[in-house]
Chains A and B, each alone.
Chain A
């Protein structure tokens, strides 16, 4: 086929599109994933029993802020990476900064605490279970972010998948925070961050194949 004929054929069939269309698709898929993840949390795990009293504590809000920041920033990065020629260095750097900042604050809290309490601050009552549950809750969200990102045109599928996976992990941790009654920063810094990173790696692997076009 001659290139000129191709141009004619392509422009003849031109239909108006909106640059917001992929964004809308991403929103629907991620929203759907979040709903499934939240229903799983409510039915299988249940809300934390001490919800009302916990709302007075700083840590209750810190957990939500931390996980929402991770999920939101990573999702923003993934959306940018889905557009050819747009970079997300800034967004991904801020993700790293947020994790580092939280780790520093958690270390500070650990150092200030009396020695006998430190073990509990690190391990809580649910150390080995918590990351597994977050990872499980991130599965519907990972499906949502990857399917949503397929509406874009990522030219770096692995990096885009990584950002999408981090977003899924961060949002899953946010959902899990409604159910988890741990309140020490060191616990959150380790056992919340780890599954988010794991979801990011899973996203990179999936993205390498599923985000190619």
Chain B
């Protein structure tokens, strides 16, 4: 994103392509039986991001910025289609929740944090926490015992918590 603000067209195209994947998943989940609108909303959001890209503060997490715009476009979409009443109440609460960061998009920020750990430990955390392998399965992959994996993951998570606390100012997801 930072390169994009400076005018790097290649980095920008890559970023938009990656965000498109996240946005598709986001809207597919939110729209229920109105899937036909999903691609329109993705394009709508891409254009909105492009037009207002100078509103991104380089100090803030990119996911929060993208996600807030996506939610704004979705609300605007409901307003135009007048189908707000068709959203069940429990879903509506989720729609407007300020803290509701999509896990798929939050992963971008998680991997940024993971890069700060030793690579072997980061790989174990990815395997167990993000891919959903068991400790034994992850250990098999790198040739460690189940117990050693457990200890490594535990220490890694602790370090992550510390790293997040050090850089977090309350706005990070």
Taking Cβ atoms with an 8 Å cutoff, the residues of A that contact B are 1, 3-4, 6-8, 10-12, 14-19, 21-22, 82-87, 90, 152-153, 155, 212-213
Contacts and interface: CB of A to CB of B under 8 A. Distances in A.
Contacts of B67: 85
A18 B5 contact: yes
Given A3-B46, A6-B47, A87-B98, A14 B56 contact: no
Interface in B1-35: 4-10, 12-13, 16-17, 20
B53 interface: yes
A153 B66 CA distance: 12
Chain A interface, DSSP helix/strand/loop, else mixed: loop
A84 B72 contact: yes
Interface of B: 4-10, 12-13, 16-17, 20, 39, 42-43, 46-48, 50, 52-58, 60-61, 63-69, 71-72, 76, 98, 170-171
A1 B44 CA distance: 11
23 contacts: A3-B20, A4-B17, A6-B47, A7-B16, A14-B8, A14-B9, A16-B5, A17-B53, A19-B54, A19-B55, A19-B56, A83-B55, A83-B60, A84-B56, A84-B64, A84-B72, A85-B61, A86-B64, A152-B55, A155-B68, A155-B69, A155-B71, A213-B52
Contacts of B4: 14
B47 A10 contact: yes
A152 B57 CA distance: 11
A87 B68 CA distance: 11
Nearest to B6: A16
Chain B interface, DSSP helix/strand/loop, else mixed: helix
A87 B46 contact: no
A211 B155 CA distance: 47
Contact of A83 (B8, B9, B56): B56
Contacts of A213: 48, 52
B72 A3 contact: no
Given A7-B20, A14-B9, A1 B60 contact: no
Contact of A11 (B6, B16, B68, B171): B16
B57 A86 contact: yes
B42 A86 contact: no
Given A14-B9, A155-B68, A7 B54 contact: no
Given A8-B13, A22-B54, A83-B56, 14 more contacts: A6-B43, A7-B46, A10-B47, A14-B7, A14-B12, A15-B7, A16-B6, A17-B5, A18-B5, A19-B56, A85-B61, A85-B67, A87-B171, A213-B52
